[in-house]
Amino acid sequence: MTAKESESPKGLRVGVVGMSGIGNTHAAAHKADSLAQLVAVCDVVKDKADAAAKTHGVKAYYSLKEMLAHEELDVVDVTTGGYENGSWHFEPAMEALAAGKHVLCEKPLSNDIGEAREMVRYAQERKLYLGCNLNHYFTPTAERAKKYMDEGQVGELVYCLFKVGFNGGEETYRHNKSPRFNQPYAHMKAFLTHPFSVMRHFCGDITHVQSFSTKPGFRKNKGDLLVSVNSVHVQFADGTVGYLLSHRGDAMWGLGGWWSCEVAGSKGTFCIENCIEKLTYWPAVKPGQSFGLGQGPTPEVLDTGIKDFGATFPRRIHAFLDDVTRGVPLEHLRSSGRDALATLEYIWAVIDSYENGGEMVRPNPLPTLHGDPRVERI
């Protein structure tokens, strides 16, 4: 790169809204990415905006309106939180879309399904990218696993098993009394979007949901409203069966760590452990091979050596910047608003099933993909 090139402004002009922990993580990722130019940060709390502006060396704003009025942005990155970690996403995301900006939004798209549906509809109407930070499958482990699938080494899907949540137990439990989180469905709405996004990434749309949810005695005794343990049985559109178990620090996770996803098929099975850390692939037994009970061909192991889950953020953010920079067809955006809406439709089905004693529920269908007629077949 010549000196002149290194001085020239680079990449998409990005403004980040909501400068708490996650907003600062996103800002740092944009700053370090060759496809982005972080130009401003915004928070309604002045101190937070000022502190972030100082850290990242950009201008601070105290409202999105002000930021949009003074900066030429390509992308608005919404990292606000709110009730059930999602009630403050709708307003800034819609404001940015109305101003003609592409939007990357933290998960969950919203804590209200009606708002989430409207966000996806409006982005489609405006013909703008709406992406969501479904970062759990932007990993070397998930990429290698997908390659096994694409190369036919998993074969016809048989089952998908997912265990995910937080490590903990009775001794470290603290009742989170904040009205933002002391809600029955806060864990489901704030968190299940991640495992559902990964299950859908590997196995496709979910068509049937049945859930049993509960909470341990130590939560009940404190009057904690959170329904923290979620046991969900699903079926995918192709008939594959799946199971998701999630809890919010109510126990220690056993085999597979805090995050494990096992996908089994007629040609082989893989399991990802601790999200970004480790992938194991077990090829199915081939004709002529013979093994004792429970034995099989030697598995292949990918140990990435990455222990820090935080490494998923820059990877996912780079993919968004890359899709927008390349101008991929709207419906090809990775981890799109529609993908995030899918996970919320499943979560609403989980809640519906739980409220009806474990009844089987069909999630609301997603908006149809019409595609852009100007785009050649890909």
Residues contributing to the site for ligand NAD (CB under 6 A):
17-23, 42-45, 48, 64, 79-81, 85-86, 88, 91-92, 106-107, 133, 135, 190
Looking at residue 34, its amino acid is S
- Looking at beta carbons only, is 22 or 306 nearer to ligand NAD? 22
What's the closest the beta carbon of residue 360 comes to ligand NAD, in angstroms? 29
What's the closest the beta carbon of residue 237 comes to ligand NAD, in angstroms? 26
- Looking at beta carbons only, is 44 or 99 nearer to ligand NAD? 44
- Looking at beta carbons only, is 24 or 153 nearer to ligand NAD? 24
What's the closest the beta carbon of residue 335 comes to ligand NAD, in angstroms? 10
What's the closest the beta carbon of residue 65 comes to ligand NAD, in angstroms? 9
- Looking at beta carbons only, is 227 or 276 nearer to ligand NAD? 276
What's the closest the beta carbon of residue 191 comes to ligand NAD, in angstroms? 8
What's the closest the beta carbon of residue 138 comes to ligand NAD, in angstroms? 10
- Looking at beta carbons only, is 21 or 357 nearer to ligand NAD? 21
- Looking at beta carbons only, is 112 or 149 nearer to ligand NAD? 112
What's the closest the beta carbon of residue 91 comes to ligand NAD, in angstroms? 6
CA distances from 10 to 13, 32, 39, 143 (A): 8, 11, 11, 28
CA pair distance 195, 260, nearest whole angstrom: 9
- Looking at beta carbons only, is 91 or 355 nearer to ligand NAD? 91
